[in-house]
Amino acid sequence: MCSGGRTPRCAAAAREVGVKEAASPVGTRRGLFFGWLGMLLFSGTVVATRFAVRELDATFIALGRALVAAALAALVLRAHRAPWPRRDQWSRIALVAGGVVVGFPWLITLALRTMPAAHGAVIVGLLPMATSVLAVLRAGERPSPAFWLASGAGLLGIVVFASTRGAHGLGQADLLALGAVVLGAIGYCEGGLLAREMPAAQVICWALVLSAPFLALPTTWVIGRVGLSAGPVAWLAFAYVSVLSMFLGFFAFYRGMSEAGIARVSQIQLAQPVCSLVWSVLLLGERIDAATALAAVFVVGCVLVTSRTRVRVAYAVPEAP
């Protein structure tokens, strides 16, 4: 007998009859924790990339970091003796690979060659909202009006703040960044869906392994053309985007989306530009003025509101061990 619908058989039955289950309070809190952890790891990406592109080719950074992460992913899959994905899951893993392994890193790296950090914050700030829209269209999630109001306010806060710091105009770099946002949203949403069917860590691992053969040749060509001459700071920045941004960050973020919902956890990324400013203070010696601090408090407050709003789902939310 299905008591609470917590067994796999009951979960399947819930999906068949369209019952809308909600994550348990413990699962939601745990999912939000992993979402915040993933966002913190992602937040250093812009600063690290700006360090790396000073001495390393942008294409090498975008593709090479995926190859480094793919090597680590292969080791993880082998160590855990992970089963091969089902045939119907490979096409979805390809969407994750195209979105967050290749598309977003490559396009945003090309954009950051000429785009100021504040300008980039405006464009990348669209990613949480784009992911939430896909969560509605693709994942069947139904956020409450309060959710949309809080997330819209957070997005507006980022736009207003960044515009006061020189983020004006629309150029080629903006189009590259917008393309990155679209591909990134697809990769996040599809990865969040897959993380309900397999361990979250395996989602990004299989996406990295799948993309590796297609990245090896262009990466080798770039190395042969421009070489790999760079100082220790550039290599340290490259290591950050390879291991933390491209690899470990997704372990936490996909786990968070699988437990607390794609729409809710994706809004945590509204705080990412604010956290990136903290990185810039620590690593670049920049100062945070009163307006910056106020904007940070406002955006983080909006994120906290979205995390406490209701999000109806049309799937059985798994209880993670």
* Residues 212 and 77: beta-carbon distance below 8 Å: no
* Residues 238 and 264: beta-carbon distance below 8 Å: no
Give DSSP secondary structure letters for 134-192: HHHHTT--EE-HHHHHHHHHHHHHHHHHHHTTT-----HHHHHHHHHHHHHHHHHHHHH
pLDDT of residue 205: 94
Cα dist from 171 to 59, 75, 111, whole Å = 20, 41, 10
Exposed, middle or buried: residue 118 (CB in 10 Å: 0-12, 13-18, 19+)?
middle
pLDDT of residue 27: 60
Region of residue 242 (phi > 0: left; psi between -120 and 50: alpha; otherwise: beta): alpha
Helix extents (H) in 195-266: 200-226, 232-239, 249-260, 262-266
DSSP-assigned letter for residue 269: G
* Residues 67 and 180: beta-carbon distance below 8 Å: no
Interatomic CA distance for residues 160 and 154, integer angstroms: 10
Over the chain (321 residues), the average pLDDT of each successive run of 10 is 44 40 60 90 84 86 90 94 93 93 84 68 73 75 74 73 59 80 90 87 93 91 87 92 91 87 81 77 70 70 67 46 35
The phi, psi pair for 24, rounded to 5°, reads -65, 155
pLDDT of residue 165: 58
Give Cβ neighbours of residue 52 (< 8 Å, ≥ 6 apart). Answer: 61, 230, 234, 237, 238, 241
In this structure, the chain runs to a length of 321
Sign of CA dihedral 242, 252, 268, 311: positive
pLDDT of residue 168: 56
pLDDT of residue 72: 95
The phi, psi pair for 168, rounded to 5°, reads -130, 155
Classify 48 as helix, strand or coil: helix
* Residue 232 token pair: 């220790």
Instruction: Count the neighbouring beta carbons within 10 Å of the beta carbon of residue 75.
Output: 11
Classify 249 as helix, strand or coil: helix
pLDDT of residue 1: 44
* Residues 112 and 50: beta-carbon distance below 8 Å: yes
Sign of CA dihedral 274, 275, 280, 281: positive
DSSP-assigned letter for residue 271: G
* Residue 175 token pair: 């189009």
> pTM for this structure?
0.74
pLDDT of residue 19: 35
* Residues 261 and 313: beta-carbon distance below 8 Å: yes
